[in-house]
Amino acid sequence: MPKLVFVEKDGNRKEVDAPVGLSVMEIAHRFDVDIEGACEGSLACATCHVIVDEGWYAKLGEPSEDEEDMLDLAFGLKPTSRLGCQIVMSDELDGLEVALPREVNNMLG
């Protein structure tokens, strides 16, 4: 099973088994990683914003226009920011590393 590494807000690294076909957001929820996901992955918020490690960013493919629109609402946006609900784990992403931003903007709550 592929591995996924979360770098939490306090800098701690949490490596988890990442089932193929689940999104980074779903995996975070499964392992009690502090990603909100207020819209439950429907591309209506930016609360699952993650910062992808630079070495992995190009391997993810381009974000959709809808994802880019939602990212515009995220706090702490970086050049490698993505929404966790839009990154679906595959064997090719074994070892993917994402960091959680320090702040989240929840416009739904």
Closest to 32 in 3D by CA, of 109, 108, 100: 100
Please give the residue that has the higher pLDDT: either 74 or 96: 96
- Which pTM value belongs to this model? 0.91
By the 10 Å C-beta count (0-12 exposed, 13-18 middle, 19+ buried), 76 is classed as: middle
Tens digits of per-residue pLDDT, 59-71? Answer: 998 999 999 999 9
CATH class of segment(s) 3-99: alpha beta
- Residue 109, pLDDT > 50, answer no
